[in-house]
Amino acid sequence: MARGERCARCQSIELPYERCLAPWAYEFPVTRLVQALKYEGALANARVFGMRLAAAGGDAMEPGSEATLIVPVPLHPGRLVERGFNQSREIARVVARSLDRPLVEPALRRVRETAHQVGLSREERLGNLRGAFMANATIVAGKRVILVDDVVTTGSTAAEAATALVAAGATHVEVWAAARALG
């Protein structure tokens, strides 16, 4: 898909972000690599995902993008304690270092604990995430933001997080994820 084009599913939805970059389809063997990162602590996989994202997106960075902030999708503090790390942060750290852009974790917080998204429909996911994120306007106002996640399935997490960033004054939000569910 060319830059600026949207998949059929996204063409019918008003999205709060400019584009979603996901270099891999969320199917085997990528599913296994993401799950190993997320649930087994295979942190080396974050490096692979981050390097691929930086290579795929770095060439298309807009002129003047030196002001672009790299922001990982945050976990709720309780989930972070449970897991021990944030897989999106680990991927975002590699992206930020590769593109020589700042990793700005305090730009976005998860302010409400939500149920696990696995097995929920798009509508259920949207409802589950409503109001779950809060962006820091003093950090993101007037800035371009690359929001980094591990996987985009229905796009609900990306949409809710991007909505919070835009509401706080971000001028441009892109979602970069290692993989995207197809269909």
Range in 16-30, 41-55, 102-116 the model is least confident about: 102-116
- Would 3 be classed as within a structural domain? no
Our count of domains for the chain comes to: 1
Between the CA of residue 75 and those of 45, 95, 112, what are the distances in Å?
A: 18, 18, 10
Which CATH number do you get for residue 80? 3.40.50.2020
Range in 92-101, 122-131, 163-172 the model is least confident about: 122-131
pLDDT band at 123 (very low <50, low <70, confident <90, very high): confident
Each residue of 73-91: pLDDT tens digit? 999 999 999 999 999 999 9
What mean pLDDT comes out for the span 113-130?
72
Q: What is the DSSP letter of 182?
A: -
Which structure tokens are listed for 102? 């700042």
Which structure tokens are listed for 139? 């950090």
With CA atoms as reference, report the closest residue to 48 among 150, 182, 145, 157.
150
What mean pLDDT comes out for the span 45-49?
98
- Would 2 be classed as within a structural domain? no
pLDDT band at 171 (very low <50, low <70, confident <90, very high): very high
- Would 8 be classed as within a structural domain? no
Q: Is 22 helix (H, G, I), strand (E, B) or coil?
A: coil
Each residue of 143-155: pLDDT tens digit? 999 999 999 988 8
Range in 26-35, 124-133, 136-145 the model is least confident about: 124-133
What mean pLDDT comes out for the span 48-58?
95
- Would 157 be classed as within a structural domain? yes
- Would 5 be classed as within a structural domain? no
Dihedral over Cα of 129, 132, 137, 138: its sign: negative
pLDDT band at 2 (very low <50, low <70, confident <90, very high): very low
For residue 139, the enclosing domain spans: 13-180
Rounded to two decimals, the pTM is 0.89
Looking at this protein, which amino acid is placed at residue 8?
A: A
- Would 100 be classed as within a structural domain? yes
- Spatial contact of 94 and 121, defined as CB atoms under 8 Å apart: no
Rounded to 5°, angle at Cα 24 from 26 and 93: 100
- Would 1 be classed as within a structural domain? no
- Would 72 be classed as within a structural domain? yes
pLDDT value at residue 18: 93
Identify the bridge partners of residue 70 per DSSP, sorted by sequence position: 103, 146
